[in-house]
Amino acid sequence: KQWYQRRVAITAGGMKELVKAINFACVKHTDQRRKNAAKTPYINHPVGVMHILCEEAGITDIPTLMGAVLHDTVEDTDTSTQEILEAFGEEVAGIVNEVTDDKNLPKAERKRLQVVNAPHKSEKAKLVKLADKLYNLRDLSKETPQGWTEERVKDYRLWASKVCTGLVGTNSTLEGNLQAELASHGIKFPCAEK
């Protein structure tokens, strides 16, 4: 069946919370754009991450899907962790917090910590992280972001492979899709180096 033909039992309360999270993310990311030539709306990314989880990985858990659509709000907008907690509760705030980098740290340290901390994330945060990396890798295959060199693209792919190696055992479908995406660029996943 096509994704729009699949029916999943979601409670009215769950649907209401998911729509609330989608709207929240849309408002928070309103003026942001992706770094591609078309400058597509940034919101396409978190919605796409949520779609990968739902469609490809078969995830129907509402807090996980909410965490996916909200995953960049604290890191990339003026949203605070407290705001997520108050609006969506402890579980969703925890997922978002787990996948949020500390922007006070240098970029190299943030990237290092993603690799080191990946195996220690909750199952739901691991799912969001896998889908996020898969979305970004697919975007890189479509188009190099403005201002990026081929070397930077290659480095991102290698780093993403290291991060996701720490997530192996979370969802075989997502891991298989990551493996195929990385292999199409000559990168082994899971990688030997963590």
Catalytic residues, by residue number, are 75-76
- What are the two backbone dihedrals, phi and then psi, of residue 41, each rounded to the nearest 5 degrees? -55, 135
Here the tokens at position 95 are 């997922």
Q: How many whole angstroms separate alpha carbon 92 and alpha carbon 194? A: 28
Rg (CA), the chain: 16
**What separation, in Å, do the N-terminal and C-terminal C-alpha atoms of the chain show?**
38
In order of 9, 65, 66, 83, the CA distances from 87 in angstroms are: 24, 15, 11, 6
Kindly tell me the number of DSSP H helices and DSSP E strands found in the chain: 9, 0
Which among 66, 112, 72, 123 has a CA at the least distance from the CA of 92? 66
Q: How many whole angstroms separate alpha carbon 164 and alpha carbon 151? A: 20
Q: How many whole angstroms separate alpha carbon 89 and alpha carbon 91? A: 6
